[in-house]
């Protein structure tokens, strides 16, 4: 498989930067929701069962967004140092289709599967 061209690299970098903007907006919104719900919960003193459930849900989404954001930032670092598009596990080029769907992917599908199965 060929290396990514400068143009392709720039396209991926642009998408990664756009993802960062979206993610940070999302986190801000979720944080506001979580804080707002906490306020309600204090007023309801003890009867905030569903509130605390949805607050937990917001916090879970924040955590997921934050970890995606970290991966996006790491991918942008790799764009800078020239290792973008190569698998962290086996150093093989990551498939272009995979990068199109997931520009912050840090490993190839085979290594990702191994990781998910807990074998890596
Ligand atoms: Zn790999």
Sorting pLDDT into bands at 50, 70 and 90, what band is 94? very high
* Per-residue pLDDT tens digits for 35-67: 876 655 555 455 545 567 778 888 999 999 999
Query: HEC string of the chain?
Result: CCCCCHHHHHHHHHHHHHHHHHHHHHHHHHHHHHHHHHHHHHHHCCCCHHHHHHHHHHHHHHHHHHHHHHHHHHHHHHHHHCCCCECCCCCCECCHHHHHHCCCCCCCHHHHHHHHCCCC
Residue 50 lies in a domain: yes
What span, in angstroms and rounded, lies between the C-alpha atoms of 102 and 18?
Answer: 13
Å from CA of 109 to ligand 1 middle: 7
For residue 49, the enclosing domain spans: 6-84
Q: For the whole model, what pTM was predicted?
A: 0.79
Residue 94 lies in a domain: no
Residue 96 lies in a domain: no
What pLDDT shows up at residue 3?
A: 78
What pLDDT shows up at residue 49?
A: 53
Å from CA of 93 to ligand 1 middle: 8
Burial (CB count <10 Å: 0-12, 13-18, 19+), residue 43: exposed
* Per-residue pLDDT tens digits for 16-34: 999 999 999 999 999 998 8
Residue 34 lies in a domain: yes
Residue 92 lies in a domain: no
Sorting pLDDT into bands at 50, 70 and 90, what band is 120? low
Å from CA of 95 to ligand 1 middle: 10
Residue 106 lies in a domain: no
Å from CA of 35 to ligand 1 middle: 40
Total number of domains constituting the chain? 1
Q: What is the mean pLDDT of the chain?
A: 87
Residue 62 lies in a domain: yes
Å from CA of 29 to ligand 1 middle: 35
Residue 120 lies in a domain: no
Å from CA of 43 to ligand 1 middle: 51
């Amino acid at each position: 498989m060929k290396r990514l061209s400068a143009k392709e690299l720039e396209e991926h970098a642009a998408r990664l930067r756009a993802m960062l903007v979206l993610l940070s907006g999302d986190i801000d919104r979720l944080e506001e929701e979580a804080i707002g719900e906490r306020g309600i919960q204090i007023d309801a003193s003890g009867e905030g069962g569903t509130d605390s459930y949805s607050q937990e849900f917001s916090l879970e989404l924040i955590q997921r967004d934050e970890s995606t954001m970290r991966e996006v930032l790491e991918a942008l670092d790799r764009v800078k140092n020239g290792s973008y598009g190569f698998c962290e596990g086996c150093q093989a080029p990551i498939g272009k289709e995979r990068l199109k769907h997931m520009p912050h992917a840090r490993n190839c599908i085979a290594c990702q599967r191994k990781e998910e199965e807990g074998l890596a």
